[in-house]
Structure 1
């Protein structure tokens, strides 16, 4: 493999100093247009690639923003990433997208890699398996801003952007109750990160405030994937637990429940109403269409990126202050929960 071209190679080719080459590449006004043109031409001929890390050390800014998501192939996270990039690219920042795959060790490894790459900040939705947050604190201690979104942690004194998961759950369960449902099952996660804790709390409070007693037999824990939803629904049927609605913390698990109900010829929503959470694209195409809660993913991406750049600006001016932005979710009512006309 041929050695990478350097500033010295360009300088030698043109018989000028490396500092002149550097200034020309950075469009320094003290360098003549003729010299800049010659340097750019030589750089292209030699296939010169700038060392971004070295440049970052010189400038004090890399104009790189690291983003860590559990997985990029979910509509929610891909939409958040789009929102972050829309804001970042306008400000000449490049976004490095990384996935933790909900693996703690992978998350630690990724934080270290982004720190070594001299990113100017890290935006992250933490892994389901993350309990120890020391790796984030190490990045913060090195002067790298860390902003959390969606899945957050109270252990870190950092800026955060999230939706009001409690309110979203409360509203959807209240809607199911308004439709005549009284035995509402809840699919949740055994890993009680903030979003699932808040959705469970919203479920419990909605029942209580409508005079419906909480029944722990109606709460089923799983990883909330499609197959988990099938298993959870089947578990309720096998135990002959009376259910007239299911509120799932995940659209995928709600879809799994829908499949089982259809296979058993249980009418939706007449016998069992369904509601999910996230407003995944497929929810508007299911038969019947799925009631869910929109997490405002694009807005969350915009708000998270804006918070990062505000923090960057504030810290440069000595006015850094930790903030928490909570977005209001939107209840999307569709066919799986509209049973009012069927209530006698």
Structure 2
């Protein structure tokens, strides 16, 4: 197995001291420009790779940020990560992206791995299975900053960034009522993390405020993926009276419902109107195009990163900081799948 090039190898190659090489690599002003260039050239020739963990141990900073998402193949999470990375790179930091796959044990292992890699902090969206937060509290005890986004919890005293899921759901259901819908079903998740609790609360309050009685038979639980949406729609079609609209807590669930309705020759939106949640890229290409709630993913990434670095700077300066919750206002994107009364497109 080939051994890694060290600063001692570079020093021997240039016939200088290892401390000179170290200072040159760290842009120490005591080193001349000619020496610095010679060291950088030799480092490249010898394929020198700095040991970030060792540097972090020496300096107390790695300039690495851990980012944990449930899954990276969702457009929402990849867009948030892009927003975080844009701010981090601008400030000279790199990010390490990890996926929990909504698996509690994997989330614990990921947090431990990032801590061992000496990251300067962690930005995370908690998994659906996570109900115990000891692994995050262990980081806080070590002084490692944490910021949560989207899927958050009040059980951790950390900064949080989210959208107003309640308002997004309320606006979606109110829009369906405005379009003449009176029997509105809701696709939700059996795992009641905060975002789904708030979307369910927005749904029920909107019904109440518009004088529509709540019907427990119209609230269907699933994993909110494509197949979950299909099964939920099939379950609704078995009722004596079919709903005239569906508000799904995810676009994938709404897309599954759309597939079943089209297979059954049920007209959208004339017979059943549809609204999803997330504004996934495919929603503007479906037939009909899908009305949805935009979660402002890129903006969420920017705000989350800015909040994280504000916290990091405060810790560096030993400034006491109170935790805060930043709530972004979602936007209802109205498309063909819900426009049944006005004929607008």
TM-score tier, shorter chain, comes to: over 0.9
Please give the secondary structure, in 2, of the residue aligned with 1:340.
coil
Residues in 1 aligned to 2:44 and 2:267: alpha-carbon distance in whole angstroms: 67
SS at match of 2:92: coil
Partner of 2:259: 259
Is the counterpart of residue 319 in structure 1 residue 325 in structure 2? no
Is 1:221 the counterpart of 2:221 in the alignment?
A: yes
Deviation at 1:75, TM superposition (A): 0.6
Structure 1 position 104, deviation (Å): 0.7
Aligned mates of 2:295, 2:207 — CA distance in 1: 22
TM superposition shift of 1:309: 0.5
- Matching residue of 2:4: 4
Instruction: Please name the residue that 2:284 is paired with.
Output: 284
SS in 2 for 1:185: strand
Name stretches of at least 5 consecutive residues in structure 2 with no aligned partner: none
Show CA shifts across 1:80-108 (max 9, x none).
01100111110010011111111111111
**Could you tell me how far 1:12 is from its partner in structure 2?**
2.4
Give per-residue Cα distances to partners, 1:3-45, cap 9 Å, x unaligned.
1111122222333221111001111111122322332232223
1:321 is displaced (CA, Å) by 1.9
> 2:69 maps to which residue?
69
- Structure 1 residues 214-243: Cα deviation after superposition (integer angstroms, max 9, x where no partner): 111100000000011010000111233431
For 2:71 and 2:207, locate their aligned partners in 1 and report how far apart those are by CA, in whole Å: 33
User: Hey, what's the Cα distance between the residues in 1 that align with 2:79 and 2:35?
Assistant: 44
- SS at structure 2 position matched to 1:44: helix
Q: Which sections of structure 1, spanning at least 5 residues, go unmatched?
A: none
> What residue number does 2:89 align with?
89
Distance 1:112 1:237 in 2: 46
When the two chains are superposed, the root-mean-square deviation of aligned CA atoms in Å is 1.1
Larger mean CA deviation between 56-65 and 33-42 belongs to 33-42
- Calculate the TM-score normalised by the size of structure 1: 0.97
User: 317-326 or 100-109, which moves further after superposition?
Assistant: 317-326
Q: TM-score, normalised by structure 2?
A: 0.97
- Counterparts of 1:97-136 in structure 2, within 5 Å, are 97-136=97-136
1:340 Cα shift? 1.1
| Cα distance in 2 for residues equivalent to 1:24 and 1:296 | 43
Residue deviations 1:196-230 (CA, integer Å, cap 9, x gap): 00000000000011111111110000000001101
In structure 2, distance between residues paired with 1:316 and 1:29: 23
Q: In the alignment, which residue of structure 2 is the partner of 1:339? A: 340
**In the TM superposition, what whole-angstrom CA distance separates every residue of 1:238-296 from its partner, at most 9, and x where no partner exists?**
23343110000000010110111111111111111110000011111111111110000
Distance between the aligned counterparts of 2:285 and 2:33, measured in 1? 58
Take 1:6 and 1:241, find their aligned partners in 2: how far apart are those partners? Answer: 74
Distance 1:238 1:340 in 2: 26
Once structures 1 and 2 are overlaid, which stretch shifts more, 13-22 or 303-312? 13-22
| Distance (whole Å) between structure 1 residues aligned to residue 342 and residue 328 of structure 2 | 33
Cα distance in 1 for partners of 2:257, 2:37 equals 65
Moved more, 128-137 or 232-241: 232-241
The more displaced of 42-51 and 129-138 is 42-51
